[in-house]
């Protein structure tokens, strides 16, 4: 496809500049995608606000954005399963396919993954991009590209539920009800976990958690969150405890909330390299503590769960901004963190 497109570059913090480029040509194994929706992730905002995320330093100018969906406008000569007009979700990481982790089925651990919007790699705040067919997943007719973009964070929730051995009869507590906490809530529910407590300090997020089916929500600003959660579980805690907030305090709180024999999963990426955990208490409970990194092999499952109505992922989204106002949107998100639960950028079709 001939023509020009705009790319939303971040040349320095809190800034977007549009660069006009030629629309790229797909290689034989790639499709050219007209991007239609991109979710704004905490990692994008970290690079955008501070110039780093965890230990990763930004390499400005950067193109941020990795939670993306759009439609195929051109297919490379070797593309078999997708055609022009298909709506797709883009899995943002292209693993090497050769290392022991890729071959072992845990490609999220691939050290050579090419992942959108990591320093040195361009993301999807662009009108068009090319992407390999095997990392593009066709959306059924009844799903839109907002839901398609939300499959990416949803996968973190599904991976959390899977790693936490979620199943009917288990109980759970989630610390933090931002996008990932809410995706975890929906994933645990879809896995059969009926009793789920959600703790946060932001009322708007808690209201969302309640609306999405949390058994009870606890505002830890107004009350002792641990005491309240324990009271609600008859002092026993829950089988599954997830920290999606990624703070020193919430990571440490997981131990007190854990039922004997349960599993703690740390999902939130902490800026603290050292988190002292009460392992003596964890040991007495025969508790398991685990971390997780991104997800793997979950795009098809996420799409099925959303299209079948099991997971109303779009209800997490609270704010939409057009790509034409990208800087305004991202800055609004930064300046209204307690009010924006999840922002999605929409592109003109
Ligand atoms: Zn993300
Ligand atoms: Zn690999």
Same domain, 177 and 223: yes
Same domain, 202 and 274: yes
How many Å lie between the centroid of ligand 2 and the Cα of residue 295? 14
**Nearest ligand to the C-alpha atom of residue 39:** 1
**Nearest ligand to the C-alpha atom of residue 110:** 2
pLDDT band at 63 (very low <50, low <70, confident <90, very high): very high
Same domain, 277 and 340: no
| Residue 183 covered by a domain | yes
Ion ligand 2 residues within 5 Å by Cβ:
95-96, 99, 102, 110
Q: Residue 21 is part of a domain; what is its CATH number?
A: 3.90.180.10
Q: What DSSP letter does each residue of 186-230 carry, written as one string?
A: HHHHHTT--EEEEEES-HHHHHHHHHTT-SEEEETTTS-HHHHHH
pLDDT band at 195 (very low <50, low <70, confident <90, very high): very high
| Residue 93 covered by a domain | yes
**Nearest ligand to the C-alpha atom of residue 41:** 1
Amino acid 55: pLDDT? 80
Average pLDDT of the chain to the nearest whole number: 97
Same domain, 339 and 229: no
Range of the domain at 223: 156-291
pLDDT band at 112 (very low <50, low <70, confident <90, very high): very high
Amino acid 318: pLDDT? 97
How many Å lie between the centroid of ligand 2 and the Cα of residue 134? 15
User: What pLDDT digit, counting tens, does each position of 296-338 carry?
Assistant: 999 999 999 999 999 999 999 999 999 999 999 999 999 999 9
Please, which residues have CB within 8 angstroms of residue 302's CB and are 6 or more apart in sequence? 151, 154, 155, 158, 311
Q: How many residues are given for the chain? A: 349
Domain count, the chain: 2
Amino acid 223: pLDDT? 95
How many Å lie between the centroid of ligand 2 and the Cα of residue 104? 9
Same domain, 162 and 287: yes
**Nearest ligand to the C-alpha atom of residue 101:** 2
| Residue 151 covered by a domain | no
How many Å lie between the centroid of ligand 2 and the Cα of residue 45? 27
3-class secondary structure, 138: strand
Same domain, 171 and 129: no
Helix 42-50 to helix 326-335 angle (10° resolution) is: 90
How many Å lie between the centroid of ligand 1 and the Cα of residue 154? 9
Ion ligand 1 residues within 5 Å by Cβ:
41
| Residue 265 covered by a domain | yes
Q: How many CB atoms lie within 10 A of CB 180?
A: 26
Same domain, 170 and 254: yes
| Residue 300 covered by a domain | no
pLDDT band at 99 (very low <50, low <70, confident <90, very high): very high
Amino acid 272: pLDDT? 75
Same domain, 101 and 201: no
How many Å lie between the centroid of ligand 2 and the Cα of residue 285? 36
Same domain, 246 and 335: no
Amino acid 334: pLDDT? 97
User: What pLDDT digit, counting tens, does each position of 117-172 carry?
Assistant: 999 999 999 999 999 999 999 999 999 999 999 999 999 999 999 999 999 999 99
| Residue 71 covered by a domain | yes
How many Å lie between the centroid of ligand 2 and the Cα of residue 107? 6
Same domain, 64 and 130: yes
Q: How many CA atoms lie within 13 A of 234 on its CB side?
A: 2
- Residue 79 scores a pLDDT above 90: yes
How many Å lie between the centroid of ligand 2 and the Cα of residue 296? 12
pLDDT band at 270 (very low <50, low <70, confident <90, very high): confident
Is the model more confident about 81 or about 272?
81
Amino acid 53: pLDDT? 87
User: What pLDDT digit, counting tens, does each position of 214-259 carry?
Assistant: 999 999 999 999 999 999 999 999 999 999 999 999 999 999 999 9
How many Å lie between the centroid of ligand 1 and the Cα of residue 32? 22
How many Å lie between the centroid of ligand 2 and the Cα of residue 109? 7
pTM of the model: 0.97
How many Å lie between the centroid of ligand 1 and the Cα of residue 268? 11
**Nearest ligand to the C-alpha atom of residue 114:** 2
Q: Residue 222 is part of a domain; what is its CATH number?
A: 3.40.50.720
How many Å lie between the centroid of ligand 2 and the Cα of residue 297? 14
How many Å lie between the centroid of ligand 1 and the Cα of residue 347? 18
Same domain, 119 and 161: no
Same domain, 15 and 130: yes
How many Å lie between the centroid of ligand 1 and the Cα of residue 234? 35
Amino acid 60: pLDDT? 96
Helix 248-257 to helix 225-232 angle (10° resolution) is: 30
| Residue 150 covered by a domain | no
| Residue 146 covered by a domain | no
């Amino acid at each position: 496809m001939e023509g020009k497109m705009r790319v939303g570059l971040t040349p320095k913090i809190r800034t977007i500049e549009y660069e006009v480029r030629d629309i790229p040509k797909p290689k034989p194994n790639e499709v050219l995608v007209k991007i239609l929706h991109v979710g704004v992730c905490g990692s994008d905002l970290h690079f955008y606000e501070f110039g780093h995320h965890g230990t990763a330093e930004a390499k400005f100018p950067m193109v941020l954005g990795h939670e993306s969906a759009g439609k195929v406008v051109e297919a490379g000569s070797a593309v078999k399963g997708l055609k022009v007009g298909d709506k797709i979700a883009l899995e943002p990481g292209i693993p090497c396919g050769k290392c022991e982790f890729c071959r072992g089925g845990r490609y999220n651990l691939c050290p050579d993954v090419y992942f959108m919007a990591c320093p040195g790699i361009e993301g999807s705040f662009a009108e068009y991009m090319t992407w390999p067919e095997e990392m593009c997943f066709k959306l059924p007719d009844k799903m839109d590209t907002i839901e398609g973009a939300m499959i990416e964070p949803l996968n973190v929730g599904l991976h959390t539920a899977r790693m936490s051995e979620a199943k009917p009869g288990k109980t759970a507590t989630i610390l933090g009800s931002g996008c990932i906490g809410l995706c975890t809530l929906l994933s645990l529910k879809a896995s059969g976990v009926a009793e789920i407590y959600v703790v946060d300090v932001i009322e708007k997020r808690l209201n969302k958690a309640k609306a999405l089916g949390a058994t009870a929500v606890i505002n830890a600003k107004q009350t002792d969150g641990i005491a309240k959660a324990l009271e609600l579980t008859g002092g026993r805690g829950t089988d599954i405890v997830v920290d999606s907030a990624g703070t020193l305090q919430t990571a440490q709180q997981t131990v007190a909330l854990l039922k004997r024999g349960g599993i703690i999963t740390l999902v939130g990426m902490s800026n603290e390299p050292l988190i002292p955990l009460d392992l003596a208490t964890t040991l007495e409970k025969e508790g398991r503590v685990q971390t997780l990194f991104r997800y793997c092999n979950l795009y098809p499952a996420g799409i099925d769960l959303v299209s079948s109505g099991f997971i109303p992922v779009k209800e997490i989204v609270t704010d939409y901004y057009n790509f034409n106002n990208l800087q305004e949107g991202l800055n609004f998100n930064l300046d209204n963190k307690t009010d924006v639960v999840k922002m999605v950028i929409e592109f003109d079709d």
